[in-house]
Structure 1
Amino acid sequence: MPDSHRSATRWLVIVLAGASAALWMAAQRTRDRRLLINQLTSRVPGSAAEAVRVLRFYGWLRPADLQTAAADGANLWLADLSRLDLGGIDLSRTNLTQADLSWSHLTGAILEQSNLADANLTRARLEAAALAQANLAGTNLRFARLERATLIGADLSGADLRAARLDGALLSRAVLHGADLTRASLLGARLVRADLTGARGLTPGQLRRAESLGAAILPDGTGLPPSDDGADWRTPFEAWAQSARLDEHGQVI
C-alpha cells in the first residue's frame, strides 16, 4: 500500500476514534445530567441542593428542571439558586428553607404555600410574584422588589424587609410580627387585617402611604376598624399617629 494511502488510513482511524470518543462523552454527559435531575427529587436532606450545585457548575441547570422537580415534591433546602432567571416559574408548595435566591429574577413566579423560612432573597426581583400563604418567617428580603406581589396570608414574622419595595403589594391577613420594615416602601399596598404587632422600623408616614389598613393591627398593638372602601381607616389612623410613641428616628415603638 502506498505511503499516501497508509497515511490517509491512519488519519481516518484517528478521526473516527475522535468522533466515537466525542459521542461517548456526549452520551455520558446526558446520563450524568439525567442522574442529577433525578436527584433533585431525592428525599434525603441536602441531596437536591448538591444536585443543584453540580448542575450549575456544568451549566446544565434549567428552570424547567426545577419546576418539574418541584411538582414532584423536590426538597430544595439550602439550594443555591442565586442570580438565576426564574421568571414565571412555578415552585408552589416547595421546601426552599434556607435556600439562596439572592439577586434572582422571580418576576411573576408562583411560590404559593412554599416554605421560604430563613431563605436569602436579598435584592431578588419578585414583582407580581404569587406568594399567598407562603412561609417567609425570618427571610432576608432586604432591597427585594415586591411591587404588586400577592402575599395574602403570608407569614413574614421576623423577616428582614429593610428597603424592600412593596408598592401595590397585597398583604391582606399577612403576619409581620417583629418584621424589620425600615425604609420599606408601602405605597398603595393593601394591608387589610394584616398583623404588624412588634414590627420594627415603621413610621406613620410609611403606613400612611398604604392603600388600606382596614382592621390591621399596628406595631404597638393598636387595632384599626374594618374598612370595606379603603378610606374609613384613615381617621382613626391619624388619631393614632398623633399619639403614637416614636423613637428619635420617628419610628413606632
Structure 2
Amino acid sequence: GPNSIGPLLEKWAGRYLETDHTEGMWRYSVTSKHPEDDSIVQHTRIQVQNTPIGGTNGLTTVLIEVGLMLEEEEDPDLAAPGLPPFHRLLPQRFIWDIVSMGGWTRKGIPLHEGSKKVEFDDVEEWWEDICNEAEQVPQVIVGSALAGDLPVVSPDTVSAILSGFAKVYHASSIATMEKMNEVMGKMKAPKGSVRILLSNPSINPKQPLYIGERLRGPVVLIEGEQVQRPFEVDVFLRLAKRSLVDDIVPEYWEDIVLMPVETAAESFLKQREKERL
C-alpha cells in the first residue's frame, strides 16, 4: 500500500526527502548531487495515489519523474542548451525496492521481482504471453553462456537495473534454452547473447540483440574520453529514453493534476531562488 512506500524512500534518500500528503495522495521529492559529477543536480519526484475500491485497501498508483540539470543554471530560459548529457542518468535503486514489494503492474502487465525462470514445459505458453506483453512492457531474454550451463550474464542483475522498465527471463536449463530458441525462431537468443523485445515480434520482426562486442558494452565518448559502458546500463538508457515519449499515464489519472504543471527544472530553480532570498 501507499504507506509502505514512504519508509522505502526515507531509507533511500535520508535527510534529502521532502514529503507532502493530502487525502489519498502522497508526494515525495528529492534534490541531490549526482554521485559521479558534482556539477549535476538530480531532481526526483514520486507521486503515490490511492483509489478506494469497495472494502479493499484500494488501488495504489505510482508516478515517477527523474530530471537532471546543471547546478550553475540560473535562468530557466537558458537551461535547455546546458542540460547534462542523457548518459548521466543512472538506474534508481528505489524503483527496484518498490517493485520488490510485489503486486505491481505497469500498463496492466504484472511486474515481478528478479529474473523469472522459464521451465521446460511452459516454453510455448511463455513465448505467447511475452510476445503479447511486449506491446506494453519490454521483455528481456538472457541467453546461455558460450560454454557451460549458466546464463551469459547475471539475470538478477539485469532485472534489478531494468526494474520497472522491463521484465527479464532466463532458462531453467540448457535443454530449456534450446527449446526456447526453437520456439522463438528468428527471435531466438543464441549462445552468448541477450534478446530484447520492444514490441510484438510478429508485428515488428526487428528486435535488438546484444551479442559479442555489443554485449561486452559499447564504447562511448564521455567528456572527451572513451569509456566502456556496461550493456545493462546501455539497455537502461535505451528504455528510459523510450519512456520520455511513451504515453504511460493511466486513463484514470487523465483528469487529475499529477505533477505540478512546471517542469522539474523550473521547480528546482524556484527552490534555489527561495533559498537565496
Length-normalised TM-score, structure 1:
0.24
Length-normalised TM-score, structure 2:
0.23
Considering fraction of residues, name the structure with more helix.
2
Considering fraction of residues, name the structure with more strand.
2
Structure with the bigger RCO (C-alpha within 8 Å, sep 6+) is 2
